[in-house]
């Protein structure tokens, strides 16, 4: 597995370099040993690995600081911890999102959609594309979307408005994220024609099972819908209700969209590579997150998320101008987050716990089917179980803390409980916690000490556009939005 992942990543980088080079578009390749027609069996592992890489590298690390799962204690992380974001994200934007994952995904869709020979590949590609570009717009607001990933056809792609990306805009030829996902689901329900392409072992997550990807697509619809619940509650409720009625979404931890990586050099996930191998002293547990977990009496669960050297959890205050604790005493990500687990590391993109918390919130605020409290408790139980807390310890926690695991008070108070526990579960996916914080204001977070950046009084509500895109693309919004300006769906 580990060597295969390394080879697939090399393929991805080859595809990316060909997709980004102007000369590559002009070359006429007649060498049979260097084909330009890359088959889907090579493209799919490339799209999966590069999608996961884009979501779990720098973009994830910054989010983990902004939502105060972690505190930055060395190098660039100390600047990010106090909101010094300007001048960053060139690599994330260029080499991971727009010239990394996206070209491979576009190639997969083009190879299998227009010919009709690989509808299941096309469906997976569309779902992956929607996940990738939803991440981009959630982080930056207005971004290239409808004209992105099309090479020389749009060398300076338009920045589409976030509301158009989510809702669509027929006059501008913008397909909504929801319709993109639905198109992918429709493809996955088709029958592959004789002689066509069918995914198998090249699907690193589900082994080519189309129904598993349909569940991912429907769960992604839930995630996208709850994200816009403030700005377009009517559409949000409609999408969630339709998915519930269909009933084919992730309902167990075994069905989670977790992308496997290896532990050997060249096959490691960015989370493992950064936090365990290359920069193990840059991040540690935030003392604010530690205080929250202590207030919930959830130390057993915390021990699955973070280490406790010598049996003691040791955190650090976000933004503090102090000498951090000795490296050997610091609490850092535990193996559930970084790996290795069963000789593998994972990037966790979409989960059963997300689904439970989303449906709990929707049932609470929209009245969609399901009992909010039962779904809330399911989310906590499944999050703990996924992290490795034993069934006995989960039962004991619920027995000892009935008021903590039961929704009480006003609708907003209950929503705060749901989002706070979802925030804890998403230590493994802090970009999702960052979305939830910006749209709900939960959990209660205070500005870091010694904050700076665009506005020291506000936890950034968006990332800054990268300088290379700002200088190269005349369509980049100017002046750039400040980090205290909310995105369209934000609170």
Distance of alpha carbon 10 from the chain centroid: 22
Assigned token pair, 45: 């592992």
- Where does the pLDDT of residue 444 fall: very low under 50, low under 70, confident under 90, or very high at 90 and above? very high
- Where does the pLDDT of residue 5 fall: very low under 50, low under 70, confident under 90, or very high at 90 and above? very low
Percent of the chain, pLDDT > 70?
A: 93
Is 50 exceeded by the pLDDT of residue 417? Answer: yes
| 344 assigned to some structural domain | yes
- The pLDDT assigned to 410 comes to 98
Q: Phi-psi bin for 409: left (phi > 0), alpha (psi -120 to 50), beta? A: left
Pairing of strands 283-285, 70-72: antiparallel
The helix/strand/coil state of 415 is: helix
486 backbone dihedrals φ, ψ, rounded to 5° = -70, 155
CATH code for position 429: 1.25.40.390
- The pLDDT assigned to 37 comes to 74
Find the helix or strand (DSSP H, E) in which 270 lies: helix 270-272
| 463 assigned to some structural domain | yes
Find the helix or strand (DSSP H, E) in which 70 lies: strand 70-72
| Residue whose entry in the numeric block shows the structure tokens 């969609």 | 368
- The pLDDT assigned to 36 comes to 58
Extended beta strands in 159-269, E state: 159-160, 257-261
**Residues in a beta bridge with 316:** 286
Is 50 exceeded by the pLDDT of residue 16? Answer: no
- Where does the pLDDT of residue 393 fall: very low under 50, low under 70, confident under 90, or very high at 90 and above? very high
Burial of 207 (0-12, 13-18, 19+ CB in 10 A): exposed
- Where does the pLDDT of residue 17 fall: very low under 50, low under 70, confident under 90, or very high at 90 and above? very low
Q: Residues 35-49: pLDDT tens digits?
A: 457 899 999 999 999
Q: Residues 103-137: pLDDT tens digits?
A: 999 999 999 988 889 999 999 999 999 999 999 99
Q: Residues 334-375: pLDDT tens digits?
A: 999 999 988 889 999 999 999 999 999 999 999 999 999 999
- The pLDDT assigned to 66 comes to 98
Number of domains in the chain: 1
Q: What is the DSSP string of 28-65?
A: ----TTS-S---HHHHHHHHHHHHHHHHHSHHHHHHHH
- The pLDDT assigned to 11 comes to 46
| 156 assigned to some structural domain | yes
Question: Are 86 and 2 in contact, with CB atoms under 8 Å apart?
Answer: no
Q: Residues 174-185: pLDDT tens digits?
A: 999 999 999 999
Q: Residues 425-438: pLDDT tens digits?
A: 999 999 999 999 99
Largest CA distance in the chain: 71
- The pLDDT assigned to 114 comes to 81
| 479 assigned to some structural domain | no
**Residues in a beta bridge with 143:** 160
**Cα distance between residue 276 and residue 307, in whole Å:** 12
| 491 assigned to some structural domain | no
| 115 assigned to some structural domain | yes
**Cα distance between residue 127 and residue 134, in whole Å:** 11
| 18 assigned to some structural domain | yes
| 325 assigned to some structural domain | yes
pTM greater than 0.75: yes
User: Which residues constitute the domain of residue 112?
Assistant: 2-26+37-472
Is 80 exceeded by the pLDDT of residue 6? Answer: no
């Amino acid at each position: 597995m580990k060597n295969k992942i390394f080879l697939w990543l090399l393929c991805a980088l080859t595809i990316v370099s060909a997709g980004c080079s102007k000369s590559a578009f002009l070359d006429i390749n007649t060498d049979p040993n260097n084909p330009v027609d890359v088959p889907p069996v090579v493209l799919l592992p490339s799209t999966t690995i590069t999608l996961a890489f884009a979501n779990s590298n720098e973009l994830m690390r910054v989010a983990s600081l902004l939502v105060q799962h972690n505190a930055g204690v060395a190098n660039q992380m100390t600047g990010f911890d106090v909101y010094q974001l300007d001048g960053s994200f060139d690599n994330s934007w260029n080499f991971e999102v727009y010239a990394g994952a996206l070209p491979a995904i576009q190639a997969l869709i083009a190879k299998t959609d227009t010919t009709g020979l690989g509808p299941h590949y096309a469906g997976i590609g569309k779902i992956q594309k929607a996940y990738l570009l939803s991440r981009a717009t959630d982080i930056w607001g207005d971004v290239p979307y409808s004209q992105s990933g099309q090479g020389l056809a749009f060398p300076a792609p338009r920045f589409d408005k976030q509301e158009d990306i989510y809702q669509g805009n027929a006059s501008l030829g913008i397909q909504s994220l929801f319709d993109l996902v639905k198109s992918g689901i429709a493809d996955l329900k088709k029958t592959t024609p004789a002689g066509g392409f069918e995914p198998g072992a090249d699907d690193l997550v589900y082994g080519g099972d189309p129904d598993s990807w349909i569940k991912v697509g429907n769960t992604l619809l839930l995630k996208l819908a709850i994200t816009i619940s403030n700005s377009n509650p009517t559409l949000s409720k409609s999408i969630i209700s339709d998915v519930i009625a269909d009933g084919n979404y992730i309902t167990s931890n075994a069905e989670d969209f977790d992308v496997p990586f290896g532990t050997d050099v060249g096959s490691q996930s960015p989370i493992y590579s950064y936090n365990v191998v290359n920069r193990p002293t840059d991040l540690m547990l935030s003392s604010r997150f530690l205080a929250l977990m202590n207030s919930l009496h959830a130390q057993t669960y915390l021990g699955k998320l973070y280490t406790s050297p010598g049996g003691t959890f040791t955190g650090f205050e976000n933004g503090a101008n102090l000498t951090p604790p000795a490296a050997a005493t610091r609490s850092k990500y535990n193996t559930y987050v970084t790996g290795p687990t069963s000789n593998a590391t994972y990037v966790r993109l979409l989960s059963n716990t997300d689904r439970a918390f989303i449906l709990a919130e929707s049932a609470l605020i929209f009245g969609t089917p399901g009992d909010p409290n039962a779904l809330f408790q399911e989310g906590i139980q499944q999050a703990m179980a996924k992290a490795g807390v034993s069934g006995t310890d989960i039962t004991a926690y619920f027995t000892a803390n009935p008021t903590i695991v039961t929704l009480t008070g006003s609708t907003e108070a209950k929503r705060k409980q749901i989002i706070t526990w979802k925030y804890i579960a998403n230590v493994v996916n802090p970009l999702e916690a960052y979305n939830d914080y910006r749209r709900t204001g939960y959990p209660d977070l205070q500005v870091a000490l010694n904050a700076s950046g665009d506005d020291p009084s506000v936890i950034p509500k968006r990332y800054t556009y990268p300088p290379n895109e700002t200088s190269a693309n005349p369509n980049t919004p100017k002046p750039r939005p400040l980090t205290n300006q909310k995105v369209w769906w934000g609170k």
